[in-house]
Structure 1
Amino acid sequence: MIKKATREAYGEALAELGKLNKDIVVLDADLSGSTKTSVFKKEFPERHINVGIAEADLIGTAAGLATCGKTVFASTFAVFEAGRAYEQIRNTVAYPKLNVKIAPTHAGISVGEDGGSHQSIEDIALMRVIPGMIVLSPADAVETKKMVYAAAEYDGPVYIRMGRSGVPVLFDENYDFQIGVANTMKEGNDVTIAATGLMVAEALKAAEALKEEGISVRVINVGTIKPLDGETILKAAKETKFIVTAEEHSVIGGLGSAISEFLSEVYPTKVKKVGIYDKFGQSGTGAELLEKYELTAGKLISVIKENL
């Protein structure tokens, strides 16, 4: 299977967008080689600003440019952007509803060797709670590009969570992404896996393996964490026995929380969460860490079998 990092697709999408829209401006905090905003910088050096290792300035400058009619994409690593610049995101971008796209890379533990200090497992929770913030988490490179285009068209703050490692390409160019719409990738009537990010590929693997054992698994790619596609989630809750959520993020405040919160009010359903259980990451290869923290198809299979 072809693999490609979501950050690679992000850089390409920015460069394409820059040709279509002269008001696209891209900012980075001295990590353009890693975030791949360097691809845009090569094409449009006059519209790329490196603010240096100053994440609060990154967001403040982005907000200022947005007040001048620019559509701004601001990037660094997720742990620095969602964490260090949180107050600026809240007060200078979200509060006045400015047209800034907060687009970090290197989210989750698959960052690998950089270790727990650099592995953002809290960013979805932090961004979800900000009023009016759109929160997106692509499953592959194709969905990333579609999200970047959708974010550019949307007037207001958007958070796009991207990773470091190559992930399987699941979609083709005909895939239609819309903000707020979850994508049912596989039908099933025994159990539902609602997954986001790199866990979508693991969910599909688990579904294929369980099919051999006569267990029918529905797989939903929740590319938009907020606003949650309640209609698709409710349909799954009514048509399958329970829901398993899968995310490369803490189970506190992430996708699992969002789905649990929604269903508890409209249609109480058993929700089992596969994610990171109140721990920091550590150093190791991305593959080793995903195995250690049980973010795998194998874990999804065992959770489903235990609860059926």
Structure 2
Amino acid sequence: MMEKKATRLAFGESLVELGKINENVVVLDADLTKSTMTTFFQKEFPNRHLNMGIAEANMMATAAGIASTGKIPFVSTFAIFAAGRAFEQIRNSIAYPKLNVKICPTHAGISVGEDGGSHQSIEDIALMRTIPGMVVLSPADATETRQMILEAAKYEGPMYIRLGRLNVPILFDESYEFKIGKAVELKEGNDVAIIATGLMVAEAIKASEILKEKGISARVINMSTIKPLDNDAVLKAANECKFIVTSEEHSVIGGLGSAVSDFLSSVRPTLVIKHGINDVFGQSADGDTMLDEYHLRANDIAKLVLDNYK
């Protein structure tokens, strides 16, 4: 059994680490500190943590003002409130003036679980991708989350880092190296390329093992930066593999699959099978049950490959 850890927990721990080495880091939360795990930073640096209450739009605008003074605000709430409720403030107050705000929502995707469809953000990647200049990241595990948070503080400009509630397998050790805008090939293969992001990376690795038993060589790519997309890695996969499957815990409309398809349509038309949530809302059940119910498992990825392999 692989050790598991939620990316939101890694986020909270990493903020404390970052706060110790960078005094310009400030954290804002919308009355969800125990859920987003910014409570760790709040306890360590009470004078650099602002609980803005249930006022997400105001929180984003406040973060913009703080960034204009040279500080580096990390802002957190649930993804449905960050990307949804505060979209206008992110667009106009943060991204339009190109301010250095790091938006780090937790509880993204249907693995939020029992909170139900109203709280399961399956549109946030699509929304953030459309904002000019916004960097969009989605870590595969706790190790990558830590590196993302540390790298985010070095990057100048607005950034959206998508985090989850559910405990997920720790895939990488400390030798793993995350770079903004760079995908990582985790498994070699030339029959099909599975390009995954977030918690679906672990499922993609499992799917490659299932396919190996069927005689199919599956390349697995961790696309933890969704914008800017690693076009070189995508084009290489399109040139060397028969087709591509994208996998994400997000709507198949506007997310990773759309980003890959948008790019390839103009440079090398390629069959892209988009695996994700098929234009439906979520329901209320525990996170693992939700992943089963919405067919976001390794067996489902493998089936998509087998159904389209010729």
Could you tell me the TM-score, scaled by structure 2's length? 0.99
Other-structure match for 1:66: 67
Within 1, Cα distance between the matches of 2:90 and 2:242? 39
3-state SS, counterpart of residue 150 of structure 1:
helix
After superposition, the C-alpha distances for 1:206-245 in whole angstroms (9 at most, x for unaligned) are 0011112211000000000000000000000000000000
Q: Which residue of the partner structure matches residue 232 of structure 1?
A: 233
Q: Is the 8 A contact 2:72 2:153 kept in 1?
A: yes
CA distance in 1, matches of 2:285, 2:144: 27
Q: Which residue of structure 2 aligns with residue 253 of structure 1?
A: 254
1:195 is displaced (CA, Å) by 0.2
- Which residue number in structure 2 is paired with residue 91 of structure 1? 92
Structure 1: which 5+ runs fail to align?
A: none
Name the counterpart of 2:183. 182
SS for the counterpart of 1:159 is: strand
Q: How far does the alpha carbon of each residue in 1:168-189 deviate from its partner, in whole angstroms, 9 at most, with x for none? A: 0000111110000001000101
Secondary structure of the residue aligned to 2:163 is: coil
Structure 1 CA distance for aligned equivalents of residues 43 and 161 of structure 2: 22
Q: How far apart are 1:90 and its partner, in Å?
A: 0.1
Aligned to 1:192: 193
CA-CA distance at 1:196 after TM superposition: 0.2
Map of 1:28 onto structure 2: 29
Partner Cα distance (1:81, 1:57) in 2: 11
Q: Specify the SS of the correspondent of 1:275.
A: strand
Distance 1:105 1:174 in 2: 25
Counterpart in the other structure of 2:294: 293
The answer to whether the 8 A contact 2:210-2:299 is kept is no
1:221 aligns with 2:222: yes
- Looking at structure 2, the residues matched to 300 and 33 of structure 1 have their Cα atoms a distance apart, in angstroms, of 34
Inter-partner Cα distance in structure 2 for 1:149 and 1:214: 40
Structure 1 Cα separation of the partners of residues 266 and 285 of structure 2: 40
What amino acid sits opposite 1:173 in the alignment? E
Give the structure 2 partner of residue 139 of structure 1.
140
* Alignment match, 1:113: 114
Q: TM-score, normalised to structure 1's length?
A: 1.00
Give the corresponding residue for 2:156: 155
Residue 117 of structure 1 aligns to a residue whose secondary structure is coil
Aligned residue in 2 for 1:169: 170
What per-residue deviation string (whole Å, max 9, x for no partner) do you get for residues 91-149 of structure 1?
00000000000000000000000000000000000000000000000000000011111
| Identical-residue share of aligned pairs (%) | 68
How many angstroms does 1:150 deviate by?
A: 1.0
Distance, in Å, in 2 between the alignment partners of 1:137 and 1:100 is 17
SS at match of 2:118: helix
Q: Is the 8 A contact 2:57 2:86 kept in 1?
A: yes
The CA distance in 2 between the partners of 1:200 and 1:281, in whole Å, is: 21
| AA in 1 matched with 2:242 | K
Q: Structure 1 CA distance, aligned partners of 2:66 and 2:162?
A: 22
Q: Distance in 1 between matches of 2:204 and 2:26?
A: 36
Distance across 2 between alignment mates of 1:205 and 1:58: 40
Query: Does the aligned pair in 1 maintain the 2:108–2:122 contact within 8 Å?
Result: yes
Matching residue's letter, 2:129: R
Residue type matched to 1:154 in 2? Y
User: In 1, Cα distance between the equivalents of 2:82 and 2:256?
Assistant: 20
